[in-house]
Structure 1
């Protein structure tokens, strides 16, 4: 039975059929993995902007290597963001905390290097 309320218990499926937290150790390990994915999401956003800034202005064409790499990072960023959203939708407070803290640490590590003050790459803004 799905829990559609905030809870602190084990037993949630996380993204894949075989990723189920049935023990406290499994939950802690999952929280750590989710924390790292949230940090990686913020790093991916920074990397895309960094690649854009390093792109030679003479090659502002859709058919150059820089644009192709940025497109790949955009797809990775979107995939990670939707996975994090689905993790939050488990309503498990511990998993949500891992997403929020991971995002905060990722922003702390990468956000100060950004040029733009506001992130226009997130789908929720």
Structure 2
């Protein structure tokens, strides 16, 4: 009797995987039908893909070139933001080290009092709020880039990749992490 109960329990977990698809065609052989057209599920150079919003659908050659230039500039902006964040982090950590050295009196040095080293930087609202805003801006750009790549439009993808490369070429040398090689 236990085997029958066990078999029924196991079958109850397996059968939902064979459930009906609720009338949805799950084949991926062709383009996905959307409200305003088709979404090609392969890499392509054709125009007409929605870029982030329903109204942003570059259909003409000029609109495609404009969208690609905009994506190129956004990719450069992303690398500039990354460099600014890294430089600010470097500057903030250096200023905290200097402040820690300046705050030690000669009496504390002789007595050994105050030899405690800070493990984490202090919360300084102007630093931490700026860090958070810049990180959020970078995250937003990265999610927009991800959505752009998901259009499978090669012009958009190449614009982003080339823009990121140009941005790193322009701003990468200013990042403190660039000198760690």
TM-score by length of 2: 0.62
1:73 match: 134
3-state SS of the aligned residue for 1:18? coil
Aligned length, in residue pairs: 118
Structure 2: unaligned runs, 5 residues or longer = 1-37, 101-120
The answer to whether residue 138 in structure 2 is matched with residue 101 in structure 1 is: no
Distance 1:2 1:21 in 2: 14
1:122 match: none
Q: Indicate conservation of the 8 Å contact 2:90/2:176, yes or no.
A: no
Distance 2:123 2:49 in 1: 43
3-state SS of the aligned residue for 1:16? coil
Q: Indicate conservation of the 8 Å contact 2:68/2:155, yes or no.
A: yes
2:63 match: 26
Question: Larger relative CO (CA 8 A, sep 6+): 1 or 2?
Answer: 1
RMSD: 1.5
Q: Indicate conservation of the 8 Å contact 2:79/2:167, yes or no.
A: yes
Deviating runs (4+, > 4 A) in structure 1?
Answer: none
Structure 1: unaligned runs, 5 residues or longer = 119-125
TM-score by length of 1: 0.89
2:174 match: 113
For each residue in 1:22-62, what CA deviation from the matched residue of structure 2 results, as whole angstroms up to 9, or x when unmatched?
10000000000000000000011001011111112149322
Distance 1:3 1:27 in 2: 16
